[in-house]
A and B are shown apart, each in its own frame.
Chain A
Amino acid sequence: MKKPLITTALALSAALVSSTALSADKIKIGVSYPTPTHAWAAGMNWHAEQAEKRLEALHPDIDLVLVNSPDPAAQASALEDLVSVHQIDALVVLPFESEPLTDPVLNVKKSGALITVVDRGLSQPGIEDIYVAGNNPELGRVSAEYMMTRLESGDNIVILRGIPTLIDNERFDAFMETIEGSGINVLDHKHANWNRDDGFEVMQDFLSRFPDIDAVWAQDDDIAIGVVAALEQAERTGDGMFVVGGAGMKETIKGIMDGNTLVPVDVLYPPSMIATAMDVTVAAFKSNGPVAGRYILGATLITSENAESFYFPDSPF
């Protein structure tokens, strides 16, 4: 009984010594992002934690420090701490807002750290060494192209948009541009604020207003859940009706795997992009190839064929 205890104690102290000895020459990478307050961000938080475990196991000399902050000012302070306390060699940052975080990130760069910016760009070009982001116009275009494969000229669709922002406009404009000339009628488009309740109510009103709707572009998986509830309530799920959402929520992807005909596909705007950014940043220290540059992820169309590789049952999103 005693022996294993002693050996563990010995091993532990040896590990402690070696880790303190190592910490000096460990590569420290700070990862800063907003505190998750909605499902997509919670998914991002989960993927960041997964990537941390995976990368630290793979590279014992890499130390990732994850910090999340509830508002832009707190994120700016967190960045200062990452430099002064942790003396990071690289920073992966998803800025809360572009404007207030441009200077704080610039200060981190001045300390000599490599900068990776995720999703939301800074308001000044040239600060980041690596940029990783989803592709909003592409999400609109891919959604529109799928619609065009399923619909004919003269068919009617309605669109539920997100929160009125640049992101929403980029998606919407690209969608409209793509379907132009296809003969598909957009009956109307309203903001449903990336929210299930609003999706439900807006869709209820569309259903009362338009007797003939062939498909719905909900742009987002949360909105799509509200839309589906409204369609089921009005018993208008038949006649080949289908709904296209976006993002890559696990429940939606599970439905696609199970052959759901009402929501047959999804368009990816993955919260796991933070993991991609962490991988690329680590590669900057480990790879023999150059990695600096801009990484714009594809807005992949998720169908029953490829759904499995985008399904993370343990993620909150």
Chain B
Amino acid sequence: MSDKPASKKFSLAGMGVDLTTAGPAIALLILCVIGYLLNPAFISEGNISNLLTRSAFIGIIAIGATFVITSGGIDLSVGSMAAVIAGVMIITMNALVETIGSGVATVILGCLCAIILGIGAGYINGALTTKGKIEAFIVTLGTMGIFRSLVTYFADGGTLSLNFEIRGVYRPVYYDSFLGLPIPVWVFAVVAISGWLLLNRTAFGRYCTAIGSNESVAKYSAIKVDRVKTYTYIIQGLCVALATIIYVPRLGSASSSTGVLWELEAIAAVIIGGTVLKGGYGRIGGTILGALILTTIGNILNFTDMISNYLNGTMQGLIIIIAVWLQRGSAKN
């Protein structure tokens, strides 16, 4: 019963694509115009590149979240997961310096370690949800607390810092550019394109949508529901690992305050982008716009002193609600 509106929207998607895309795109455009009017430096090359690079973290995580949410799940653990992966990555690389030195090999091993951890953490979330039959909200709320306290424990309550020499080797991953675009933006683009292909051009993507629309029907249609759902959490974990790999070289540190509230930002980006929170319909393109909108809000608020600092949260809240309203309004037409 409750799945009807979602499936209806899905059938409408064929002809309504332009309109649903338009909502978040219009919101982003309006934001950029406001930013430019407040301060022309907003569209300077430096600021645009800062903006895109910053969106990469939340954007990459949100692409993973699009799969989880489209198939009717939710993952609240991503922020803590990013923190613990960053922490373990730093510990690993620091330990490797003594055995294999501070070269590229150490960085690659650190990244591999991050990817394995991300996939592993995603698998745990997925398996507990599907095989353990515990609600995703509870499983990931639990792992959120576990991951957060683990990073606090590893850091002894303080901050884990990357060895100074490796930082020099690893630094370009965040700060360098390729063909005029910072490397994190390239990673974001590659993840986005792969995500779009996976969701829109493969059987797996259709299974995600089907499971999110109606899990029982999907099961009767011989879709391996548990396996597909577990995969969505693994994709989420992998995305968190990739985001962490480009996050660590930025400041070379991780602490218990790393990645706080990233889960809510990622979910907000997904929903602003037009994906339905209860599943059954997902849009990667929208998610990317959603992540850009969220970063732009913060950027614009730093560009003006017209609004009291204490009201930053209010402005962010208002803009998120308006962006979703624009997108829902156009979906109805």
CB within 8 Å of B: which residues of A? 35-39, 41-43, 45, 161, 164, 188-191, 195-197, 200-202, 204-209, 222, 225-226, 229, 233-234, 251, 316-317
Contacts and interface: CB of A to CB of B under 8 A. Distances in A.
B253 A208 contact: no
Contact of B251 (A189, A196, A208): A196
B50 A208 contact: yes
B242 to A, nearest CB: 18
Contacts of A233: 175
Interface residues of B, number: 31
A200 B50 CA distance: 11
A111 to B, nearest CB: 30
B221 interface: no
22 contacts: A35-B157, A36-B152, A36-B157, A37-B157, A38-B158, A38-B256, A39-B158, A41-B157, A42-B155, A42-B157, A189-B309, A190-B309, A201-B54, A201-B302, A205-B299, A207-B46, A208-B42, A208-B46, A229-B251, A233-B175, A251-B161, A316-B159
Contacts of A37: 152, 157, 256
B227 interface: no
Nearest to B53: A204
A191 B312 contact: yes
B309 A205 contact: no
Interface of B: 39, 41-42, 44, 46-47, 50, 54, 152, 155-159, 161, 175, 250-251, 253, 255-258, 298-299, 302-303, 305, 309-310, 312
Interface centre among A39, A226, A234 (most CB of B within 10 A): A39
A317 B156 CA distance: 10
B303 A209 contact: yes
Contact of A209 (B159, B302, B310): B302
A164 B253 contact: no
Interchain residue pairs A-B with the least CB separation, the first 6: A42-B157, A36-B157, A316-B158, A205-B302, A42-B158, A39-B158
A35 B256 CA distance: 13
A234 B46 contact: yes
B39 to A, nearest CB: 6
Contacts of A209: 39, 41, 302-303
B253 A196 contact: yes
A44 to B, nearest CB: 9
Given A188-B305, A208-B44, A209-B303, A42 B251 contact: no
B299 A39 contact: no
A208 B157 contact: no
A233 B171 CA distance: 11
Nearest to B259: A197
B157 A38 contact: yes
Given A208-B46, A208-B50, A190 B152 contact: no
A313 to B, nearest CB: 13
Given A202-B302, A205-B302, A208-B50, A191 B175 contact: no
Contacts of B41: 208-209
Contact of A43 (B158, B175, B302): B158
A226 B175 contact: no
